[in-house]
């Protein structure tokens, strides 16, 4: 089994209201200084090898349906699957370890910032409610 991943992102010049909403929510939770843009990830699975022809076909599929190239860009890549190599597993494990450390750090930041930003979070939420009512 082979897997090809297609990542689709809104073009930089296109407003990303979903990303903006997530950015705002993260800030309210204390994850400061992050600017988020939200895209989509598609996983395409095939039997057998990923050939050049297969990749060309995926690119055509991405251009035809998965992405709207008026407003989005896409990126096609082959992703190793669990059965493809032991080396990959090891790499993923160490990655997971790093992630754990990152998570702990984030948790700490979050706890600290929550105290400081409590009032600000409140007012941002109120602003959003007011906008809805309007």
Partner 1 sequence: MSPKIGVVTFPGSLDDQDALRAIRKCGGEPVSLWHGDDNVDGVDAVILPGGFSYGDYLRCGAISRFAPVMAEVIKAAEAGMPVLGICNGFQILCEAQLLPGALIRNDVRVFVCKDQDLQVESVDTTWTSEFTVGQTITLVLKNGEGGYVADEDTLQRLEDEGRVVFRYLNGNPNGSFHDIAGICNERGNVLGLMPHPEHNIDPLTGPTQDGRAFFSSVFNFLAAKV
Quick check: 76 binds partner 1 (CB under 8 A)? no
- Tell me if 12 contacts partner 1 by CB under 8 A: no
User: Is 35 a residue that touches partner 1 (CB under 8 A)?
Assistant: no
Pair of tokens at residue 55: 């990749």
Residue 64 has phi, psi (to 5 degrees) of: -75, -45
Backbone angles phi, psi at 88, to 5 degrees: -65, -40
**Cβ-based nearer residue to partner 1, 1 or 129:** 129
107 neighbors 29 (Cβ within 8 angstroms): no
Query: By the 8 A CB rule, do 71 and 14 touch?
Result: yes
- Size of the residue set binding partner 1 (CB under 8 A): 14
- Exactly one of 35, 51, 68, 122 binds partner 1 (CB under 8 A); that residue is 68
Residue numbers at the binding site for partner 1 (CB under 8 A): 10, 14-15, 17-18, 20-21, 65-66, 68, 70-71, 131-132
């Amino acid at each position: 089994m082979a897997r090809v991943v297609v990542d689709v992102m809104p073009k930089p010049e296109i407003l990303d209201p979903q990303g903006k909403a997530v950015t705002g929510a993260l800030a309210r939770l204390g994850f400061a200084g992050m600017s988020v843009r939200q895209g989509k990830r598609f996983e395409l699975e095939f039997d057998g090898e990923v050939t050049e022809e297969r990749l060309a076909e995926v690119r055509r599929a991405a251009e035809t349906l998965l992405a709207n190239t008026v407003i989005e860009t896409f990126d096609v890549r082959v992703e190793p699957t669990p059965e493809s190599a032991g080396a990959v597993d090891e790499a993923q494990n160490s990655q997971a370890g790093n992630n754990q450390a990152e998570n702990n750090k984030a948790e700490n930041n979050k706890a600290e910032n929550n105290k400081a930003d409590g009032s600000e979070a409140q007012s941002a939420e109120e602003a959003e409610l007011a906008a809805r009512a309007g």
